[in-house]
C-alpha cells in the first residue's frame, strides 16, 4: 500500500488544510448574556462545550470517565462558578449514551439524540454539509445530508473494528499509546495490507505481519487504513466517493489521529474538513440544540451550586417481572427524591405504580404472538391418538395455527414448548453444531430438550421448503435453508432424540399443495392409522384456520393504522421474519418503540396479498415467501405518510444480504428512511435506542424540509441480444480451473467471444467489498469484484462487454448473484453492460444465448474431462518421481482436451483426430505410466464444501497446495454430480412434495445420459488395477446420503455434500476439509449440521470446517487444517510430519476461539 505521505510537500499541504477550521471563541470571563451548555456523556469520555448567544465557545472540557453523572456534575459546577455576573446559564442540553441519566440527575433542560447533535455541530462549522462521519472509541455514525436535512443514518453494529478502540487495542499490544502509534504510522514507507477484518481476526494478521518482519510503523499505517476501510465498506457501504457530496465533515476522537484522517482522504480521494473541535462535536451540537430551544428571557432549570453541593445518588439493581422480557433495571434515586430508571424496554419498567398499565399504543408484535399461540389443547380423554409436541421455533411462528388445527382434528393433544428465554438457549447449547448460525436456530435445540424433559416423547417438526404462495407475482415461495431444513440438524445433533421411546417426526412437506400434504400425512402418521379422508378433512380445517389467523392480523393492522391516523401518531412497521415476534429474539424492541411514542405493526399486518402495491419484477429474484411480504410492506410504507419501516435482521442471516439492499431501494424510491437493526443472543438496547431515536428525529427534520428528493428511475436491464453476441466479449469468472478452462473452447466453437478471468486478485476482492453488501457470501464478493474490476481497470470496453455468471435457481442466495452483479455494475457506472445469467432452468431470457444440444454435448464432455484430469493429477502429483512431471502432463492434456472440444475432435498437439473414448483412454494410460516414487500411500485428505470455495484456489487460499505441502494426498470430488443432484432428486420431490411429477421421467433419463459420458472414464480407470478411483454414480451417492439427510435437501450443495463426505470416508479419505463461506446457511445444515452423525457412524472421520471470507484469518485457517493433518498423520503412523499434535492443538484452540468470537 502507498505510504500515507509520499513526501514532505504532501505532509505540509495536509497540515495546512487541517488547521483552518477553528470555532469562534470568547474568554469565559468576558461572556455576557445567555449561555448555553452542551454535555456529551459518552461510554468512556465526557465532553462539554459552553456557547454564548453568538455561538462562540467560552468553555470546553474533555475527560475520560465511566461515571458520567460525577463527571457532568463537576462540569456543571465549574461552569456555574466560572460564569461572570454579566452572563447566566440560559439552557443546558445533554447527548450521548448517558443522556437520560445525566439529564435526570442534574435536571438539565434538554436531551438530544447524538446523531442529530453531531449533525447540527457539523452544519455550524460547515454550512451546507453533505456528509458527517463521526468515529469515536466504540461507535461510528454516518449521516447523509440532503437539502439541509438528514437523509439517512448509518451506525455501526456490535463490532468496533471501524472505531478508535480498535487502534487503541493494537497500540497497547505493541507497548505504545495511541499518539505514539499515530506518529509511527505517519513515518511508514510500506504500510501492510491487513484487509478489513474484525478485531479478533486482525490480531492474527498483525502477528503474521510481525513474523514476516514488518515494522511497527508499517503495521500502524496498515491498521489506520483498515479502520477506514471497515468504516467505509461495513458501515457507510460506500460505492463511490460522490455519495458523500462535496462538503464532508469528519469528527470524533478517532479523527484527531492524523494517520486515520490521511488514510480516509486517500481511500476516498476527497479533501475533508476536520474541525478544531473534532473531539467535542457532540457537546458542541448539544449546546447548539440548547440555544435552538431557548425561549428569550428564560433561564436553565439545571441544579444550582447549592443543589450540586447537596447532590446524592443511590443506585439499585433490579429485575422487572412485569413481562417475559425480565429487563435488568438500574434505578438511580437522587437526593431530591427524583429517580431515573435505565435498562427498561417500556415505560412500565420505570413506573412507580404497583401494577403499571400497558401502553395504549398499538403493538402488533404482542397481538400476533398471542393470536398465534392462543389455543387450548384437547383433554387427555379426547386425545384419541395421544400427545404430540411441537417446538415453538422458526417456521412455527408462521405455521403453528395450521399444525395445531390439523393435529388436533386428527385427535392429538398438541403441546407447544415453552416461551423462549436465555435459559432455553443454554439448555441446548452443547448440541449446536455451528456457532455462527442465527440465534433463532440455536434456540431450537433448547426447545426440543424442554419438550423431552416434560415427558413428551413424540415430537412433530417438519421440514417445509415451500410455503403457501401468497403473492401471485413473486418468483417462488421458498423458505430460507435454515427454516426449511433445520429439523434435520436437530435430529442429527441431539442425543436425547435417539433415546428409547422417543419418536421424532421431521418429514419433508409442501404447504403449497394441500392435496399432496394430506397424502403425505397419511404416510407420516401411518403408525396412528390416519386415513386419507381424515387427513384431507384435517388439512382443510387447518388451512381455514391459517387463513383466519392471517385475516385477523390484517384486520388488527387496519385498526392500528386507524388509531394512529386519528391521533396524528407515527407507526413503525417492524419488519422481519415471523420468528422475530419471539420476545427473546426481538429483545423487547417493540416495547421500546412504544416507549418512544410510536405504534408497532408487523409486515404481514399492513399488506394485502390480493391487492399488491409493489410493481414487480424486482431487481432481486423474489423467491422467499417471508421476504416477498417484506418487500410489499416497504411499498406500503412508501405510500403511507405516517409509517416508517425498521427491518430486524438476525446476525448470521446470509439471506438478508440480499433483502436489506432491496428494501432500502424500495424505500429510497419513495424518499423514505431505511433503518436496519441487527440482533442476536446479546441484548444491546442502547444501540437500538440510538438508531430508533435517530430515525425518529431525522424523519421529523425531513418533514419540514422543502426539498423533495425523487429517486432516479431504475434503468432497464441490459440484455445480451443477437447484436451483443456478434459484438461483445463475454467475461467469465473463474470457479474451477480444470473445468472452466475446458468450457471456454466449447463457447468459442459456437461463435461466442469469451475470456476466462483465471485469477481473482486481492484488488478484485477489494472491489467486491466496495460494491457488494459485505454480509453477502465470499463467492459473491469475489466473483462480482472480479467482473466489475475487469471493466473498472480499463482492460475491457464497457460498451462491447458482457459479464457471464451461473444461476443455480434454488433457495440459496446464490440465485441472486446476477442481481448483485447488476447492482454493482450500475453503481460502478456501467449500467449498459449486460449480465448473462446462465441457468438450466432458464430463469432469465437472453436472446443472444441458448443452451442448445450443440452446446450441451461438448459441455458435458468438458465437465467429465475436467473431473478426470483433476482426479489423475491429484492422485499422481504427491508421488511423482520427477518434480513437476505431473503438472507438465496435466498441461499437455489440458491443451489436448481444449483442442478436442474446440475443433470437433482434432488435436494439433497429437497431430490427428481422436474420438472421445480414445482421448479418455490415452490420457489415463499416460498418467498411469507417469514414473512415481516407491512407498506407501500418504494420508488422503478430501475437500468438500460450497462449490466455488471448494474448487477455486484463490477462494480457498490454495488448500490443495497446503494439503500436499503437508505430505498428504488431496482428494477433490468431481463437479459433475453438483449439476446432477437436482435431476436425481426429481423422484423424491414428486413423491414427497408433489412437485414435478411430469418431469421425473425425462430428468432420470438426463442423469442416465450424462452418466454414459462417464462410463468410458470409469472403465479406463478400473483398468489401472485400483490405482485411480472411478467416479461414483448418482444412485450410489444418494444411497450414501439417504438415512443421514433427506434427498429433498437441495439448498446450496444439498445432500450431495453429505454424500461426498461418506464416499470419501468409505474410500480411504476419512480426513476432510469442509470449505464454506462464512455464514453459509445451507452448509449449517448439510456440512456442519451433519458432522456429529458422520462421526457417530464413522469413528475414523477426521473432519474440520474452515470458513472463508475477506475478513477471515489465513493463519487460523491454516492452523485448523494443520491440526486435522497432524491427526491424519498420527493415525497413518507418521507422527513426525506437519508439526507435533501437541504444538498444533494450541494453535487450533486459538483458531476455534477466534472463529467463535469473530
Beta-strand relationship, 45-52 and 57-64: antiparallel
CA distance 44 to 65: 5
Which band of pLDDT confidence, cut at 50, 70 and 90, is reported for residue 189?
confident
CATH numeric code, 552-703 = 3.40.50.11900
Q: What is the pLDDT of residues 863-884, one digit of tens each?
A: 999 999 999 999 999 999 999 9
Which residues lie across from 836 on neighbouring strands?
804
Q: What is the pLDDT of residues 562-581, one digit of tens each?
A: 999 999 999 999 999 999 99
Q: Does 153 have pLDDT greater than 60?
A: yes
The three cell numbers of residue 973 are 470430488
> What's the average model confidence in pLDDT over 1131-1152?
47
Sign of the torsion formed by the C-alpha atoms of 375, 378, 384 and 390: positive
Sign of the torsion formed by the C-alpha atoms of 445, 448, 453 and 458: negative
Query: Where in the sequence of the chain do the CATH 3.40.50.11900 domains occur?
Result: 552-703, 937-974+1031-1157
Fold of 937-974+1031-1157: Rossmann fold (3.40.50)
Q: Does 911 have pLDDT greater than 60?
A: yes
Which band of pLDDT confidence, cut at 50, 70 and 90, is reported for residue 845?
confident
Q: What is the pLDDT of residues 413-468, one digit of tens each?
A: 999 999 999 999 999 999 999 888 999 999 999 999 999 999 999 999 999 999 99
User: Rg of the chain over CA atoms, in angstroms?
Assistant: 32
CA distance 1055 to 1041: 6
> Which carries the bigger pLDDT value, residue 1111 or residue 1099?
1099
Which positions ≥6 away from 752 have C-beta within 8 Å?
A: 725, 730, 849
CA distance 483 to 659: 16
CA distance 844 to 537: 40
CA distance 971 to 964: 10
Mean model confidence pLDDT for the chain = 89
Task: Write out the CATH class of domain 1-126+277-310.
Answer: alpha beta
The three cell numbers of residue 803 are 459479464
SS3 549: helix
Fold of 127-274: Nucleotidyltransferase; domain 5 (3.30.420)
Which band of pLDDT confidence, cut at 50, 70 and 90, is reported for residue 165?
low
Q: What is the pLDDT of residues 273-287, one digit of tens each?
A: 999 888 899 999 999
pLDDT value at residue 200: 53
> Which carries the bigger pLDDT value, residue 873 or residue 840?
873
Q: Does 351 have pLDDT greater than 60?
A: no
What DSSP designation does 993 have?
I
DSSP states of 76-126: HHHHHHHS-TTEEEEEEEEESTTHHHHHHHHT-SEE--HHHHHHHHHHHHS
Using CA atoms in the order 740, 746, 749, 753, what is the torsion angle rounded to 10 degrees? Answer: -40
Q: Which residue has the cell 445533554?
A: 94
DSSP states of 288-305: HHHHHHPPTT----S--H
**Of 93, 90, 92, nearest in space to 116 by CA:** 93
Q: Give φ, ψ of 710 to 5 degrees.
A: -110, 125
**Lowest mean pLDDT: which of 324-333, 336-345, 349-358, 624-633?**
349-358
pLDDT value at residue 156: 67
Beta-strand relationship, 1102-1108 and 571-575: unpaired
Q: Does 1101 have pLDDT greater than 50?
A: yes
Beta-strand relationship, 131-135 and 248-251: parallel
**Of 44, 1, 51, 63, nearest in space to 26 by CA:** 51
Which band of pLDDT confidence, cut at 50, 70 and 90, is reported for residue 196?
low
Residue 1055 preceded by cis peptide, ω within 30: no
SS3 466: strand
CB-CB contact of 958 with 1095 (8 Å) = no
pLDDT value at residue 130: 92
Which band of pLDDT confidence, cut at 50, 70 and 90, is reported for residue 372?
very high
> What's the average model confidence in pLDDT over 96-123?
91
Q: Does 391 have pLDDT greater than 80?
A: yes
Which positions ≥6 away from 972 have C-beta within 8 Å?
A: 870, 871, 874, 942, 943, 950, 951, 960
Instruction: Specify burial of residue 1087 (Cβ count, 10 A radius: 0-12, 13-18, 19+).
Output: buried
**Order of strands, sheet of 643-650, starting from the edge strand that comes earlier in the sequence:** 599-601, 571-575, 643-650, 674-679
CA distance 484 to 1049: 9
Q: Does 112 have pLDDT greater than 90?
A: yes
Helices (H), 174-246: 178-186, 199-211, 216-230
Query: Where in the sequence of the chain do the CATH 3.30.420.40 domains occur?
Result: 1-126+277-310, 127-274
- High-pLDDT (> 90) share of the chain, %: 64
Q: Does 940 have pLDDT greater than 90?
A: yes
CATH number of 722-840, picked from 1.10.8, 3.40.50, 3.40.390, 2.40.50: 3.40.50
Beta-strand relationship, 45-52 and 33-41: antiparallel
CA distance 60 to 57: 7
**Of 1087, 1077, 1084, 1103, nearest in space to 444 by CA:** 1084
Task: Write out the CATH class of domain 384-548.
Answer: alpha beta
Amino acid at each position: 500500500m502507498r505510504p500515507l505521505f509520499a513526501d514532505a510537500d504532501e505532509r505540509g499541504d495536509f497540515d495546512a488544510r487541517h488547521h483552518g477550521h477553528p470555532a469562534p471563541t470568547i474568554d469565559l470571563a468576558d461572556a455576557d448574556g445567555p449561555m448555553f451548555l452542551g454535555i456529551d456523556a459518552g461510554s468512556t469520555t465526557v465532553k462539554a462545550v459552553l456557547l454564548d448567544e453568538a455561538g462562540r465557545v467560552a468553555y470546553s472540557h474533555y475527560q475520560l470517565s465511566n461515571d458520567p453523572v460525577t463527571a457532568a456534575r463537576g462540569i456543571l459546577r465549574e461552569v456555574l462558578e466560572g460564569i461572570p455576573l454579566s452572563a447566566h446559564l440560559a439552557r443546558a442540553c445533554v447527548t450521548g449514551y448517558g443522556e437520560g441519566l445525566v439529564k435526570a440527575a442534574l435536571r438539565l433542560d434538554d436531551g438530544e439524540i447524538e446523531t442529530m447533535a453531531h449533525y447540527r455541530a457539523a452544519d455550524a462549522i460547515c454550512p451546507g454539509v453533505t456528509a458527517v462521519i463521526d468515529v469515536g472509541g466504540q461507535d461510528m455514525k454516518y449521516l447523509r445530508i440532503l437539502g439541509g436535512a438528514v437523509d439517512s443514518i448509518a451506525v455501526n453494529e456490535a463490532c468496533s473494528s471501524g472505531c478508535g478502540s480498535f487502534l487503541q487495542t493494537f497500540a497497547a499490544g505493541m507497548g505504545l499509546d495511541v499518539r505514539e502509534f499515530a506518529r509511527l504510522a505517519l513515518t511508514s514507507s510500506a504500510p501492510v495490507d491487513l484487509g478489513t477484518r474484525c478485531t479478533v481476526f486482525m490480531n492474527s494478521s498483525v502477528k503474521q505481519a510481525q513474523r514476516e518482519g514488518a515494522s511497527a510503523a508499517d503495521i500502524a499505517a496498515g491498521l489506520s487504513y483498515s479502520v477506514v476501510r471497515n468504516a467505509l465498506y461495513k458501515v457507510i457501504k460506500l460505492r463511490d466517493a460522490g455519495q458523500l457530496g462535496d462538503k464532508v465533515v469528519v469528527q470524533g476522537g478517532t479523527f484527531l489521529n492524523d494517520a486515520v484522517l490521511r488514510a480516509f482522504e486517500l481511500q476516498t480521494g476527497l479533501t475533508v474538513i476536520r474541525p478544531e473541535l473534532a473531539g467535542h462535536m457532540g457537546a458542541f451540537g448539544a449546546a447548539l440544540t440548547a440555544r435552538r430551544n431557548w425561549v428569550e428571557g428564560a433561564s436553565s432549570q439545571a441544579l444550582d451550586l447549592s443543589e450540586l453541593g447537596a447532590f446524592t445518588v443511590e443506585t439499585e439493581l433490579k429485575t422487572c417481572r412485569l413481562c417475559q422480557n425480565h429487563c435488568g433495571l438500574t434505578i438511580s434515586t437522587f437526593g431530591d427524591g427524583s429517580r431515573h430508571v435505565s435498562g427498561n424496554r417500556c415505560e412500565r419498567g420505570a413506573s412507580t405504580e404497583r401494577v403499571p398499565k400497558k401502553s395504549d399504543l398499538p403493538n402488533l408484535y404482542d397481538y400476533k404472538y398471542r393470536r398465534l399461540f392462543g389455543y387450548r389443547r384437547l383433554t387427555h380423554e379426547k386425545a384419541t391418538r395421544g400427545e404430540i409436541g411441537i417446538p415453538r421455533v422458526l417456521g412455527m411462528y408462521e405455521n403453528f395455527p395450521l399444525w395445531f388445527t390439523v393435529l388436533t382434528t386428527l385427535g392429538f393433544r398438541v403441546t407447544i414448548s415453552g416461551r423462549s428465554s436465555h435459559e432455553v438457549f443454554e439448555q441446548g447449547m452443547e448440541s449446536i453444531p455451528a456457532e455462527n448460525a442465527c440465534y433463532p436456530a440455536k434456540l431450537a435445540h433448547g426447545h426440543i430438550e424442554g419438550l423431552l424433559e416434560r415427558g413428551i416423547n413424540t415430537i412433530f417438526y417438519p421440514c417445509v421448503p415451500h410455503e403457501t404462495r401468497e403473492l401471485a407475482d413473486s418468483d417462488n415461495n421458498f423458505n430460507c435453508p435454515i427454516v426449511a431444513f433445520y429439523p434435520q440438524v436437530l435430529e442429527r445433533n441431539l442425543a436425547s432424540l435417539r433415546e428409547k421411546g422417543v419418536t421424532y417426526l421431521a418429514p419433508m412437506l409442501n404447504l403449497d399443495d394441500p392435496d399432496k400434504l394430506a397424502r403425505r400425512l397419511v404416510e407420516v402418521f401411518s403408525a396412528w392409522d390416519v386415513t386419507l379422508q381424515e387427513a384431507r378433512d384435517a388439512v382443510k380445517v387447518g388451512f381455514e384456520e391459517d387463513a383466519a389467523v392471517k385475516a385477523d392480523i390484517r384486520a388488527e393492522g387496519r385498526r392500528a393504522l386507524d388509531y394512529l391516523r386519528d391521533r396524528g401518531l407515527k407507526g413503525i412497521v417492524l419488519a422481519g421474519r415471523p420468528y422475530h415476534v419471539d420476545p427473546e429474539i426481538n429483545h423487547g424492541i417493540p416495547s421500546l418503540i412504544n416507549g418512544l411514542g410510536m405504534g408497532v405493526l408487523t409486515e404481514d399486518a399492513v399488506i394485502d396479498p390480493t391487492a399488491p402495491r409493489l410493481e414487480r419484477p424486482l431487481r432481486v429474484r423474489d423467491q422467499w415467501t417471508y421476504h416477498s411480504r417484506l418487500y410489499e410492506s416497504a411499498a406500503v410504507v412508501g405510500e403511507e405518510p405516517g409509517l416508517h419501516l425498521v427491518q430486524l435482521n438476525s446476525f448470521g442471516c446470509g439471506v438478508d444480504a440480499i433483502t436489506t439492499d432491496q428494501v432500502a431501494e424500495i424505500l429510497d424510491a419513495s424518499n423514505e428512511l431505511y433503518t436496519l437493526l441487527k440482533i442476536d443472543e446479546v441484548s444491546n438496547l442502547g444501540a437500538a435506542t440510538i438508531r430508533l431515536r435517530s430515525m425518529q428525529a431525522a424523519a421529523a427534520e425531513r418533514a419540514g424540509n422543502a426539498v423533495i428528493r425523487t429517486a432516479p428511475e431504475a434503468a432497464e436491464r441490459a440484455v445480451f441480444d443477437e447484436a451483443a453476441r456478434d459484438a461483445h466479449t463475454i467475461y467469465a469468472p473463474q470457479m474451477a480451473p480444470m473445468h472452466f478452462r475446458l468450457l471456454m473452447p466449447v463457447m468459442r466453437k459456437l461463435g461466442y467471444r469469451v475470456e476466462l478471468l483465471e485469477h481473482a486478485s486481492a484488488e478484485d476482492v477489494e472491489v467486491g467489498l466496495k460494491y457488494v453488501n459485505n454480509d453477502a457470501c465470499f463467492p459473491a464478493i469475489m466473483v462480482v469484484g472480479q467482473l466489475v474490476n475487469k471493466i473498472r481497470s480499463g482492460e475491457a470496453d464497457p460498451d462491447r462487454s458482457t459479464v457471464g455468471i451461473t444461476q443455480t435457481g434454488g433457495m440459496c442466495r446464490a440465485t441472486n448473484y446476477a442481481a448483485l452483479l447488476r447492482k454493482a455494475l450500475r453503481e460502478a457506472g456501467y449500467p449498459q453492460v449486460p449480465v448473462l445469467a446462465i441457468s438450466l432452468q432458464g430463469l432469465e431470457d437472453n436472446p443472444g444465448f441458448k443452451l442448445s444440444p450443440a452446446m450441451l454435448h461438448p459441455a458435458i464432455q468438458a465437465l467429465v474431462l475436467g473431473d478426470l484430469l483433476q482426479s489423475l493429477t491429484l492422485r499422481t502429483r504427491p508421488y511423482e518421481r520427477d518434480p513437476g512431471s505431473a503438472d507438465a502432463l496435466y498441461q499437455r492434456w489440458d491443451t489436448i482436451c481444449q483442442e478436442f472440444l474446440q475443433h470437433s475432435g482434432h488435436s494439433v498437439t497429437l497431430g490427428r483426430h481422436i474420438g472421445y473414448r480414445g482421448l479418455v483412454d490415452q490420457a489415463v494410460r499416460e498418467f498411469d505410466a507417469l514414473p512415481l516414487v516407491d512407498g506407501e500411500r500418504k494420508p488422503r485428505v478430501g475437500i468438500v464444501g460450497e462449490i466455488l470455495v471448494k474448487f477455486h484456489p484463490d477462494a480457498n487460499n490454495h488448500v490443495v497446495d497446503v494439503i500436499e505441502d503437508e505430505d498428504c494426498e488431496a482428494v477433490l470430488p468431481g463437479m459433475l454430480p453438483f449439476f446432477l443432484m437436482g435431476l436425481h432428486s426429481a423422484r423424491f420431490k414428486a413423491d414427497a412434495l408433489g412437485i414435478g411429477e411430469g418431469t421425473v421421467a425425462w430428468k432420470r433419463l438426463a442423469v442416465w445420459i450424462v452418466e454414459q459420458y462417464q462410463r468410458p472414464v470409469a472403465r479406463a480407470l478400473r483398468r489401472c488395477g485400483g490405482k485411480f478411483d472411478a467416479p461414483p454414480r448418482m444412485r450410489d451417492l444418494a444411497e450414501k446420503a439417504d438415512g443421514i439427510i433427506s434427498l429433498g435437501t437441495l439448498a446450496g450443495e444439498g445432500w450431495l455434500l453429505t454424500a461426498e463426505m461418506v464416499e470419501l470416508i468409505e474410500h480411504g479419505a476419512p480426513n476432510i476439509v469442509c470449505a464454506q463461506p462464512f455464514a453459509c446457511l445451507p452448509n449449517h445444515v448439510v456440512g456442519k449440521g451433519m458432522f456429529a452423525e458422520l462421526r457417530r457412524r464413522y469413528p475414523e472421520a477426521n473432519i474440520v470446517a474452515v470458513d472463508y471470507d475477506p475478513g477471515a484469518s489465513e493463519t487460523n485457517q491454516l492452523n485448523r487444517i494443520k491440526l486435522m493433518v497432524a491427526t491424519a498423520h498420527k493415525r497413518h503412523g507418521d507422527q513426525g510430519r506437519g508439526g507435533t499434535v501437541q504444538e498444533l492443538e494450541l494453535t487450533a484452540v486459538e483458531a476455534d476461539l477466534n472463529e467463535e468470537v469473530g
